[in-house]
A and B are shown apart, each in its own frame.
Chain A
Amino acid sequence: MDALIEKLKGQIIEQLNLAEVKPEEINPDSPLFGEGLGLDSIDALELIVLLEKHYGIKIQDPKDGKTIFQSLRTMAEYIKSQGKS
């Protein structure tokens, strides 16, 4: 799980152009949206693209994104649950 979280950190920083964020600054349990990383609605759509591009996972209902993208850990757990790590 930890290895997957570390990998995700790098992918998120790259995909979302978080140039000023260092991987070690992202707490796997803090919220990705609002406070925490401060991502917005376009970032949420990009995370859907990221899952498809790197893990072959298609989120059919974007509303599911809300629970999946709560934190890095929930995201990693979701990828595991899809058997795609």
Chain B
Amino acid sequence: MRGRAHPQPCHRLTDAMFAPLSRRRRVLPGFGLTLGCTLVYLSLLILLPLSGLAVKASQLSFAELWEVASGERAWASYRITFGAAFLAATINACFGLIVAWVLVRYPFPGRRAIDALVDLPFALPTAVAGITLATLYAGNGWIGRHLEPLGVKIAFTPLGIVVALTFISLPFVVRTLQPVIEDIEPEVEEAAASLGASRWQTFLRVLLPGIFPALLTGFTLAFSRAIGEYGSVIFIAGNMPLISEITPLLIISKLEQYDVVGATALAMVMLSISFVMLLAVNALQWWAANRHRPGAAGSGR
């Protein structure tokens, strides 16, 4: 299955890195050209800007960097940014799984339309999303109107941030899961049922192990997208210091003061935290993929 073929190309790549390229002739053509292309492309698009960031931030000594990154407001903003992003990614992992499952498994009228709808958050300018959500969830909005009597305020509170982040990161989970779910044949479920598994057991023991690595990938993508989001959040957050100020807003605030170095310092801190978290999720994914492989392969084939 597609999801599990991952480790192999990696081995091939590491082999290639240690063995002289000229000595081995590959069966698949075009390796040198495409690898060169990949390296140049990634360097231009990702490594170059990132190293620029690092160089700019390195103008600060470690003590200064620490001062910029460890203020009360900064800590509060990390808590809000990472907390809201985590919540949003978790919500999307649950509901995105359901959406993907429904879209793949059940044919029904309007399925294609709904399928296309999932991509809208990708296409919509985030500021538009933020303004629309703020209007919907404000005290007199279509949704906020019904929540306010219950004492629930969403727009202009930290909850609003979660709503905005959930909106913009939904497609990542759904689009990651769809191909993997497509690969699971319905016969697998039938077999599980005929062997006496309950529905819940079928889901937990048979389906979930196969889906889990992709679910984690989707979660990670959604999470990292949500951490960096600025455009939609500032319109619904309320932006109160210590309460609903996200880290990207603090970065903008530094730029407003023409403090580019301070802004890059904050950005580096965010990037480092994200990197460590992504690494941790990748490790978890690797562990999950390996742990479940024998069981899943046994029941799947």
- B is bound to A: no
